[in-house]
Amino acid sequence: MNEVKCEFEHSFENVSDIKDVLSNIGATMAVLKMLPKNANDKNQVYIASDLNILYPTFALTFQDRGQSASTTKRQSDPNKVIPEAIFDSFHWLTSDNKQIEAKGVKAILYAQYPEARLSGFQTVENTMPRSMSVEYTKQESAPKRLLVLAQLPGGAAVGIMVIAPSDSLVDEVNNLPSFNGSRICKKLIIEQDGSTKLAKILKDIVGKTFDGCRYDKHGNTIPFRGTQVCGYTLEHACEIIPNSDKNGDIFGIELKTHTQKKVTLFTPEPDFGDYKDDYRTFMKTNGYQDKDGNWRLTGVHKANILSKKSGLTLKVKAKKYVKESKEWIETDYDPETCSTAKMDYMEVVLLNSENHVTAGWSYERLMNCWGAKHNEVVYIPASKQENSNEEKHKEGYEFEVTFGETIMWCKNTTADQLFKAIHEGTIFLDPAPKLHATDPSQNKRRSQWRVNDIAKAATTLYAEVLFRELATE
| CATH number, domain containing residue 70 | 2.40.330
pLDDT of 337 above 90: no
pLDDT at 84: 87
Same structural domain, 20 and 39? yes
Mean local confidence (pLDDT), 77-81? 49
Mean local confidence (pLDDT), 43-63? 89
Domain span at 39: 9-189
pLDDT at 325: 81
pLDDT of 27 above 90: yes
At 186-206, the pLDDT tens digits run: 999 998 888 999 999 999 999
At 111-120, the pLDDT tens digits run: 767 788 999 9
Number of domains in the chain: 2
Mean local confidence (pLDDT), 301-330? 87
pLDDT of 403 above 80: yes
Mean local confidence (pLDDT), 443-453? 97
Same structural domain, 165 and 217? no
Pick the residue with more confidence: 140 or 457?
457
Same structural domain, 217 and 359? yes
Same structural domain, 247 and 131? no
Give the integer Cα–Cα distance in Å for 252 and 261.
Answer: 24
pLDDT of 70 above 60: no
Same structural domain, 289 and 415? yes
Mean local confidence (pLDDT), 250-264? 94
pLDDT at 93: 97
Same structural domain, 290 and 164? no
Q: Residue 4: inside a domain, yes or no?
A: no
Same structural domain, 430 and 325? yes
pLDDT of 234 above 60: yes
Q: Residue 3: inside a domain, yes or no?
A: no
Q: Which pTM value belongs to this model?
A: 0.86
The CATH number that applies at residue 405 is 3.30.70.3570
pLDDT of 81 above 60: no
Look over the chain and give the mean of its residue pLDDT values, rounded to a whole number.
89
pLDDT of 427 above 80: yes
Same structural domain, 251 and 202? yes
Domain boundary among 172, 189, 206: 189
Q: Residue 288: inside a domain, yes or no?
A: yes
